[in-house]
Chain A
Amino acid sequence: GIQVEQSPPDLILQEGANSTLRCNFSDSVNNLQWFHQNPWGQLINLFYIPSGTKQNGRLSATTVATERYSLLYISSSQTTDSGVYFCAAHTGTASKLTFGTGTRLQVTL
């Protein structure tokens, strides 16, 4: 099955800093999604982005399907951005979304 790898595994930022999270996948994908799991365990869908670029407030994402990676940009980070960021992908005829191992982000004052 598809392999989904994320980097970095851990990231500590000061409030106001910008960051880029990376997601590499081993096969061509039909569907790529980014999620944020907050410190209380809730999973929020940030982006559905099989290709191209999308923006939502301080967050934006870009997927380059032909090169098998996706990037999540966080600008002007806030403490509420802390948590774990997961990317997940569907490939081929697979019905399941395969998750990466996540990037754990801590934003400090």
Chain B
Amino acid sequence: NAGVMQNPRHLVRRRGQEARLRCSPMKGHSHVYWYRQLPEEGLKFMVYLQKENIIDESGMPKERFSAEFPKEGPSILRIQQVVRGDSAAYFCASSPTGRDSPLHFGNGTRLTVT
């Protein structure tokens, strides 16, 4: 059973470009979470999605950031017009039943904005 798959592992973007981060949850998991981690810091919640629905986006910046989890295909975290402050590691996690089950993380995407 493959784990949570994130790609790309590393992403370099220039200021003003768009970044697209992909996450395929574990098989049988329909709940996806995105977290951001700055260097030497903890994980900050961004958004929680179930298939085709955003359940909680309270941690996501109101502008430039969006997330989706379509019926078919991976979950996508999209950052438009990236700025240097967006440089961070972005982790995706999945679980089978949401908050009453263990969370399993992917290896993250390390975004560098130059």
In the complex, the answer to whether A90 meets B99 with C-beta atoms within 8 Å is yes
Number of A residues near B (Cβ < 8 Å) is 22
Decide if B5 is an interface residue (CB 8 Å cutoff).
no
In the complex, the answer to whether A48 meets B42 with C-beta atoms within 8 Å is no
Decide if B104 is an interface residue (CB 8 Å cutoff).
yes
In the complex, the answer to whether A95 meets B98 with C-beta atoms within 8 Å is yes
Beyond the given pairs A95-B98, A100-B42, 6 more chain A to chain B contacts, judged by CB atoms under 8 angstroms and listed by A's residue number, are: A31-B100, A35-B105, A45-B103, A86-B42, A96-B58, A97-B103
In the complex, the answer to whether A97 meets B45 with C-beta atoms within 8 Å is yes
Complexed CA–CA distance, A43 and B101 (Å): 16
In the complex, the answer to whether B48 meets A43 with C-beta atoms within 8 Å is no
Complexed CA–CA distance, A79 and B24 (Å): 32
* Mask: chain A, 52-71; 1 = CB below 8 Å from B; 0 = not: 00000000000000000000
Q: Quote the shortest CB–CB distance from B28 to chain A (angstroms).
A: 16
Q: Which 3 A-B pairs have the closest CB atoms?
A: A43-B105, A48-B102, A96-B45
Query: Which one of B33, B101, B105 lies within 8 Å of A96 (CB-CB)?
Result: B33
Complexed CA–CA distance, A95 and B48 (Å): 7
Complexed CA–CA distance, A97 and B41 (Å): 16
In the complex, the answer to whether B56 meets A96 with C-beta atoms within 8 Å is yes
Decide if A7 is an interface residue (CB 8 Å cutoff).
no
* Mask: chain B, 86-114; 1 = CB below 8 Å from A; 0 = not: 00010101000011111111011010000
Decide if A98 is an interface residue (CB 8 Å cutoff).
yes
* Mask: chain B, 4-46; 1 = CB below 8 Å from A; 0 = not: 0000000000000000000000000000010100000111110
* Mask: chain A, 65-106; 1 = CB below 8 Å from B; 0 = not: 000000000000000000000101010001111111110000
Q: Which residues of B sit under 8 angstroms from A88, Cβ to Cβ?
A: 43, 103
The 30 listed contacts between A and B (C-beta, < 8 Å) are A41-B89, A41-B107, A41-B108, A42-B105, A42-B107, A42-B108, A43-B91, A44-B105, A45-B102, A45-B103, A45-B105, A48-B101, A86-B42, A86-B43, A88-B43, A88-B103, A94-B56, A95-B98, A95-B99, A96-B33, A96-B56, A96-B58, A97-B33, A97-B45, A97-B99, A99-B35, A99-B43, A99-B45, A100-B42, A101-B42
